[in-house]
Chains A and B, each alone.
Chain A
Amino acid sequence: MDISTSRAGPALVITINDSRVDAAVAIDFKESVRLAAEEPGTPVILDLSQVTFLDSSGLGAVVAVMKLLGAARPLELAGLTPPVAKVFRLTRMNSVFTIHPHPPGSLQAAG
């Protein structure tokens, strides 16, 4: 899975550079994000602005990463595209995560 990391103040930003988080990559996603999160920074903000498809397998992988990080390093989400936001809404998982409309450092976030 193509992932990059950056810092935004105290936060660690993990950006997913692939367009799909589905059953085919759920295990790879979980492991790749876990490794990326070994870098310091809290909260951990998952930038999903390039992800246009996420199914319940992908959702489960995001939840699994949140649990792995634990309470000391809350996992927050940013840049949900409409199809991805819908999955969080339908499953009420939008109530579990802090969700930012735009990833830190984007033009929209700055404006």
Chain B
Amino acid sequence: MLAKTVGPGAPQRDHGSHAEQGRSMLFRRQFTSTDTETRATLQAMMLSLDQAGIGAEDASNVELILAEALNNVAEHAYSDGAGPVDLLVSIQRNGLVCTISDRGRPMPSGVAPSPDLPTISPPDELPEGGFGWHIIRCLTSELVYARDQGRNLLSMRIPWSGFD
């Protein structure tokens, strides 16, 4: 809880207390982890971000890291067959926070990967994959993975892209 309380008649001076109290949900959808439902979910989310006045660069950062994280859920957590995913995007003072929940297999090592970029040395070494986690790590300022009662919970903070 916030120590400071604001009375009903007090002027609203800052970004508002909603964000700080975590009641600033921008988008939520429960869907199945197929490529087409993931795509439809991201497109619906982008519409919500646009309607909320989120800038193009911030929105595209969110879309990219969510695409990577949701592709990982489909490919790894649900490699035996598609399953339910719950996506939540909320706005906070220091960025957008995205939480993905699924009931698939846990991360193999129990922690979210933080790999180096694959070796790029053309013409012999031209990787076609292995970029996803690198992209996620590049664009997030905070990332938490937890396994709780058979669910994977991945929470990521995407900082605002620029203050000019």
Contact = CB atoms under 8 A, between A and B. Distances in A.
B110 interface: no
Instruction: Give the interface size class of chain B.
Output: 20 to 34
Interface of A: 20, 22-24, 53, 55-57, 59-61, 63-64, 66-67, 71, 82-83, 86-87, 90-93, 95-96
Nearest to B129: A60
A32 to B, nearest CB: 16
Given A55-B67, A60-B128, A63-B126, A22 B134 contact: no
Contacts, number: 70
Contacts of A87: 64, 135
B18 interface: no
A86 B60 contact: yes
B16 to A, nearest CB: 29
The 10 closest A-B pairs by CB, nearest first: A24-B35, A60-B128, A56-B131, A83-B60, A55-B67, A91-B131, A56-B132, A24-B39, A63-B128, A23-B71
